Chain A
Amino acid sequence: QQPVQSPQAVILREGEDAVINCSSSKALYSVHWYRQKHGEAPVFLMILLKGGEQKGHEKISASFNEKKQQSSLYLTASQLSYSGTYFCGTEEGAGGTSYGKLTFGQGTILTVHP
């Protein structure tokens, strides 16, 4: 089942902050965050693992509440280059192997204006 992202769209001015949320109804092993610009491939931002390990870019932070199956991506002091569509991809971890399968949310469109 597809995770749900909120909000669907965000409009910011440069320097403002934003939070994007991702919520799943399934027990999760990991949450992956990507940014996709128009006409390009999704680009990896952050992975959050069950147990608290994180890997990702220094300027982007995120949290993962394993009990609530929720993750949030924090974008601070936004820049024009942050504009794009943000996707969370969830890896289910209820037992057995996931085969590395990611189920993506519907995306959040972030627009940063000067």
Chain B
Amino acid sequence: DTAVSQTPKYLVTQMGNDKSIKCEQNLGHDTMYWYKQDSKKFLKIMFSYNNKELIINETVPNRFSPKSPDKAHLNLHINSLELGDSAVYFCASSQWTPFREVRDTQYFGPGTRLTVL
């Protein structure tokens, strides 16, 4: 059974277009994350949601808008795509919760390779 899944796996699009990436986890976790991994493999957090509430919002262009319809899903919408947005985007989830000290790791989805032409 897939724990964290993402669609699509590959996304090739033109500059200026708008695209979305979807993520779903079946681990029962309360917290989900979006990461961007660039061509140098630098893995950087973008956003995090806990139970549908935004809790981490790093310095990311406002063309990127995350949405969490429920705690098992976290989507990423990107407007007006630019060449520099080309990267692999990973979704992850963890048991982190503000109500108790849970120290567990994050589980990553397979990634979405976005190529902007």
| A residues whose Cβ falls under 8 Å from a Cβ of B | 29-30, 32, 34, 36, 40-44, 47, 49, 53, 55, 85, 87, 89, 97, 99-104, 106-107
Chain A residue numbers with a CB within 8 Å of B45 are 101-103
B106 and A99: CB pair below 8 A?
A: no
B40: min CB distance to chain A, Å: 8
Per the 8 Å Cβ criterion, residues 12-62 of B in contact with A are 31, 33, 40-45, 48, 50, 55-56
Since A36-B41, A100-B94, A104-B43 are in contact, a sample of 9 more A-B pairs with Cβ atoms closer than 8 Å, ordered by chain A residue number, is A30-B103, A32-B105, A42-B90, A44-B106, A47-B103, A89-B106, A97-B98, A100-B33, A107-B42
Q: Which A residue sits closest to B40, measured CB to CB?
A: A106
Contact at B108–A49, with CB atoms within 8 Å?
Answer: no
The reply to whether B108 and A41 form a contact with Cβ atoms under 8 Å apart is: yes
